[in-house]
Amino acid sequence: MRVIAFFICWLTLLAQPALAEAPARYQPLQQQLASLIRNNPGNVGIAALDLKTGELVGVDPDTPFPMASTVKIAVAANYLAQVEHGRRSLDDTIGGRSARSLMEAMMIHSSNQATDMLLRNLGGPSMVQAWLTQQGVTGLRIDRNIAQLLAARRDLWDIRDSSTPRAMVQLLRRLDSGEMLRPQSKAYLLDLMARCATGKNRIRGLLPSNVRVQHKTGTLNNYTSDVGFLTLPDGRRLAVAMFARQGVDRPGTIARAARAIVDGFSAIVRYPFDAARAGAALGTAN
């Protein structure tokens, strides 16, 4: 019986999500996110990054997850970088359509066909990956186009076409900071993300109307994701990445995590010098 009890305890420890090394004042939020995930079956990875301070809260932030359609942010960024260098234009015609219309279809309506047309024009997944590598992006890889990804045997633990939550928010941070795109290109990309028409029951699902969301969703069988930027009412900006595979009510889990993140970071803003009070505020957040 002791052996069985030890084995059960060991399995329980293995099942605990790994937490990011968050600052002490964010520990209540991090524990809240970990509890939320424990109460929902499946495998969930979360990262939330304060774009001003660089402080990160995460649960399993270094575990690779499929990107699915969230990869389209990288495709869009690469095309815009090419525009900046004069190699391409948003007015170029690709397959009978303007690049601008393909970008909108890809980012707003998550068109897989538009994505693959842009990818082909850029030289394929390997060329986008080469650009990311040149930019110093790590923890994220692009191996196949969307048609190839969907045609392949589904393996939600395949490291191809994957990203860790930490890598995704770092990519978002670099896009936001101007390290990878000029202001005009960045503004255009964020406008497309603000108009995203998919996944309204995910990050957006439980957030108040005064939180601005600029995001991109991803969906596969038994997999749901949403990544992007949150602007709090006081102007504070966060980059967030939420990946969920298997389990049930994945959109609801993402929505509840996004609300916890907004409430948690807002509590720190209200009580910046009182971690205990901030923790109490987090404990009463819905």
Q: Any idea what the CATH number is for the domain that residue 279 is in? A: 3.40.710.10
Domain range holding 231?
Answer: 20-283
pLDDT of res. 268: 76
The answer to whether residue 6 is domain-embedded is no
- How many CA atoms are closer than 13 Å to the CA of 172, on its beta-carbon side? 33
pLDDT per residue, tens digit, the chain (286 aa), is 444 433 333 333 334 567 667 778 889 999 999 999 998 889 999 999 999 999 999 999 999 999 999 999 999 999 999 999 999 999 999 999 999 999 999 999 999 999 999 999 999 999 999 999 999 999 999 999 999 999 999 999 999 999 999 999 999 999 999 999 999 999 999 999 999 999 999 999 999 999 999 999 999 999 999 999 999 999 999 999 999 999 999 999 999 999 999 999 998 755 544 444 444 433 433 3
The answer to whether residue 68 is domain-embedded is yes
pLDDT of res. 70: 98
* Longest CA pairwise span in the chain (Å): 71
Q: Using CA atoms, how far apart are residues 218 and 274, in angstroms rounded to an integer?
A: 38
The answer to whether residue 1 is domain-embedded is no
- As for how many domains the chain has, the answer is 1
pLDDT of res. 23: 79
The answer to whether residue 14 is domain-embedded is no
Instruction: Specify the pTM.
Output: 0.88
* Residue corresponding to tokens 């109307």: 209
The answer to whether residue 187 is domain-embedded is yes
pLDDT of res. 226: 98
The answer to whether residue 13 is domain-embedded is no
The answer to whether residue 227 is domain-embedded is yes
The answer to whether residue 139 is domain-embedded is yes
